[in-house]
């Protein structure tokens, strides 16, 4: 386990939320970090896909989800799905 430092105002906010949720401060911080990191990673992966820097399969792999879940995420983010034969061939060879 590693220790982290939080600014006083942030720690007070964490204490408030932990009381409302009925969980320990440490559990809330861990949960918030995990969810926050996933959101940051998802946003980054969607941006990479949107800019055509990675394939749909690679995006799914980076998020540890299957391609169908990735398609749903891309649709929800209102990103055009442009799946070429080249990408299909690459994805099939990596499967």
Query: What pTM was estimated for this model as a whole?
Result: 0.76
Q: Is residue 3 part of a domain?
A: no
Which residues, including other chains, have CB under 8 Å from residue 54's CB and lie 6 or more apart? 45, 48, 62
pLDDT band at 86 (very low <50, low <70, confident <90, very high): confident
Q: Is residue 25 part of a domain?
A: yes
Q: Is residue 35 part of a domain?
A: yes
Q: Which domain holds residue 60?
A: 8-94
Which of 85, 87, 68 shows the shortest CA–CA distance to 76? 68
Count of structural domains, the chain: 1
Q: What is the mean pLDDT of residues 61-88?
A: 89
């Amino acid at each position: 386990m590693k220790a982290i430092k939080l600014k006083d105002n942030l720690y007070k906010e964490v204490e408030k939320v932990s009381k409302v949720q009925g969980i320990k401060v440490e559990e809330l911080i861990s949960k918030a970090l995990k969810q926050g990191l996933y959101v940051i990673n998802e946003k980054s992966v969607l941006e990479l896909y949107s800019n055509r820097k990675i394939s749909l399969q690679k995006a799914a792999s980076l998020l540890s989800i299957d391609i169908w879940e990735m398609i749903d995420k891309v649709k929800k983010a209102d990103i055009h799905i442009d799946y070429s034969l080249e990408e299909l061939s690459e994805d099939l060879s990596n499967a």
